[in-house]
Amino acid sequence: MNSIPLHPVPHGPNMTIDIVSILSALAIIFIGALAGGRLAALCRIPRVTGYLITGLAAGPSLADLLGLPSLLRTEALRELQIVSDVALALILMNIGGLFQIDHLRRWRHRIALFSLSEIGLTFILVAAAALVVNLTVLHKTVAALSLWQTSLWFALFLGIIAVATAPAATLMVIREYEAEGPVTGMVLTLVGINNLVAVLGYAVIAHFLIVPGEGLPVLLFHMTGPIVIGGLIGFAMSVWAQNLELPSEQKLLLLGGVAASTALCRFLGIDHLLASLALGVVLSNSSPRWHLLTQSLRQVDYILYVAFFVLAGANLHIETLSHIGLLGVAYVLARTLGKWLGALIGARLGAFGSREKNYVGLALLAQAGVAIGLAGSLSRHWPEGGRLLETVVLGSVVVFELIGPLAVRHGLVRAGEVPILSLLQKRAPQGALEGLHSIAQHFRSSLGIPMGHKMEDPGDILVRHVMRQNVETIRNDTPYNELLRLIAHSRYDRFPVVDKEERFLGMINYTEIRNLLFEPSLAPLVVAGDLATATHHALAPDMPLREVLKILQLNRDISYFPVIDPETPDRLLGILNQNDVLATFRRLDEV
């Protein structure tokens, strides 16, 4: 049997890398991520931040700054870049999957107004800040350009790059804290729109400013090529998926399709991230098995995402923080203000609620891969000024990548879309002594020795620790046809009804709506309040889960229960999902 050679393998000019170095780097990445994630949980911050700090501590940037040897060599990081490419492509495919026609139709023009405000204000504020800083303070000029022209170019490029939002950090925080609700869905959708606009906008600006002689066909190829490639591969995958039943085959299809799209785009020299976004859009809208495909992928993709964040931390250029200067400070402040204020105004224009007004902007602050890619492209094609702007973006990314996950977590928690139990588990991980005790007890059980005590009953957990506070409600004066449209885009089978003062009136059961479909003559006369019935299965926030289980057993056809204030029965506090209750018992039983 042939063995794998362990001697160095040539790779590039004057550079060697061997398999031992690659395996050592993988060991550092995964073991370091395990330790960094646990430390982050102890510090009550997202594990994503722990992964980034782990990479930063093991990477060459901090090692060079401290004069120490680097645990992750630059050569190994370059070889493992493929892991980052595949992971980021999968993330963008998932975000593209949120662009389902039925899902977007629910918001209609409102999401367009929100996005236009957030993107437009971010671009305007960052561009204006860069223009003013260079004209009045820095006075940087580039060969063949006047001070005004140089400042304008800086403003346009930094403005469009500022629009991009880090999809990876946002998605990982949402998954870690099991966030779910209208704010969460809107954030992920806006992340996709932001990156789509940033990539296409950059292509247009770069074409007219840097390479105007290439011609319009080249511009159209760079803009539409990734969309066409991703769309065609996504459609082919949706057809093939119809013949796949095993989850293992579905995983192979998704990984293979994303890798094929990335490889083809890199070969053609076009943006592979835009192709992954288009792949997700087409696949989610054309495949009836989209949800099964993503569920199967979730069983393996977390490993790739963890490696992606450690590698992202290792590739952060912390030394650029001292080089970004006033232009970088202006970029960070203007972008932060643009995202927050743009979301605030956009929520008002789109007639969204207070939670969308206050917390969506915070969840859009993270910035990393897409912005770095655009800045790197600018540096290659316009080295005279692009290198300065790349330094500004790289330094700013260090700031946004570290504070971004914290901002996402804060926004989603304050929006009421993170179960309190998820936060409690992050705050109280098992300590070393408890771990040794658990090992000893498990070992005793394996030997057949009776256990000395029984684990504390998870039924003591209260409803308030598991329920979701941010609830999608329906106004009692909603016409029947509008009610049908709202329900068509919802995954729930029961819907809380409130009046204009937000007082809880009851629940609409899908059965009631279905029965009315057979009486079309009555539909124009019916509003949501006519279908709402007083619920006999409302829960109190301080009810223990053992009592909830009894209610679940008696009402197996009900999957969502309203949680109300016992002293104020018309005040809806949240919704308890049957799956969340069962998952809570399952997680605690595994501890």
Structural domains of the chain, with CATH: 9-78 (no CATH), 82-418 (1.20.1530.20), 460-590 (3.10.580.10)
Which range has highest mean pLDDT (19-23, 95-99, 458-462)? 19-23
Number of alpha carbons in the 13 Å side-chain half-sphere of residue 277: 26
Contact 90, 258 (CB under 8 A): yes
Q: In this predicted model, which residue has the larger pLDDT, 9 or 30?
A: 30
Q: Picking from 57-66, 428-437, 520-529, which range would have the lowest pLDDT averaged per residue? A: 428-437
Please give the structure tokens belonging to residue 266: 């890199």
Question: What is the pLDDT, as a whole number, of residue 521?
Answer: 61
pLDDT mean over 347-370? 86
SS3 109: helix
Residue 398: pLDDT above 50?
A: yes
pLDDT above 70 as % of the chain: 83
For residues 314 and 79, what is the distance between their CA atoms, to the nearest angstrom?
13
Question: What is the pLDDT, as a whole number, of residue 7?
Answer: 38
pLDDT mean over 181-194? 87
pLDDT mean over 333-348? 93
pLDDT mean over 431-440? 54
Band of pLDDT at residue 11, cut at 50, 70 and 90: very low
Question: What is the pLDDT, as a whole number, of residue 289?
Answer: 84
For residues 467 and 472, what is the distance between their CA atoms, to the nearest angstrom?
13
Residues whose CB is less than 8 angstroms from the CB of residue 435 and which lie 6 or more positions away in sequence, other chains included: none
For residues 302 and 25, what is the distance between their CA atoms, to the nearest angstrom?
18
pLDDT mean over 566-574? 80
Residue 8: pLDDT above 60?
A: no
Helices 369-381 and 182-209 cross at an angle (nearest 10°) of 0
Report phi then psi at 212, rounded to 5. -65, -20
Please give the structure tokens belonging to residue 287: 């495949």
Place of tokens 């260079």: 134
Chain-centre distance for alpha carbon 77: 24
pLDDT per residue over 90-117, tens digit each?
Answer: 888 888 887 777 667 777 788 889 999 9
Please give the structure tokens belonging to residue 4: 């794998």
Helices 383-414 and 182-209 cross at an angle (nearest 10°) of 170
DSSP lists the bridge partners of residue 506 as 497
pLDDT mean over 273-292? 88
The three state secondary structure string of 371-411 is HHHHHHHHHHHCHHHHHHHHHHHHHHHHHHHHHHHHHHHHH
pLDDT per residue over 547-564, tens digit each?
Answer: 887 777 777 667 778 888
pLDDT above 90 as % of the chain: 18
Question: What is the pLDDT, as a whole number, of residue 118?
Answer: 94
Report phi then psi at 510, rounded to 5. -55, -30
Question: What is the pLDDT, as a whole number, of residue 163?
Answer: 93
DSSP lists the bridge partners of residue 396 as none
Residue 6: pLDDT above 50?
A: no
pLDDT mean over 336-341? 94
Question: What is the pLDDT, as a whole number, of residue 589?
Answer: 54
For residues 371 and 163, what is the distance between their CA atoms, to the nearest angstrom?
9
Contact 358, 414 (CB under 8 A): yes
Neighbours of 5 (CB within 10 A): 9
Burial of 190 (0-12, 13-18, 19+ CB in 10 A): buried
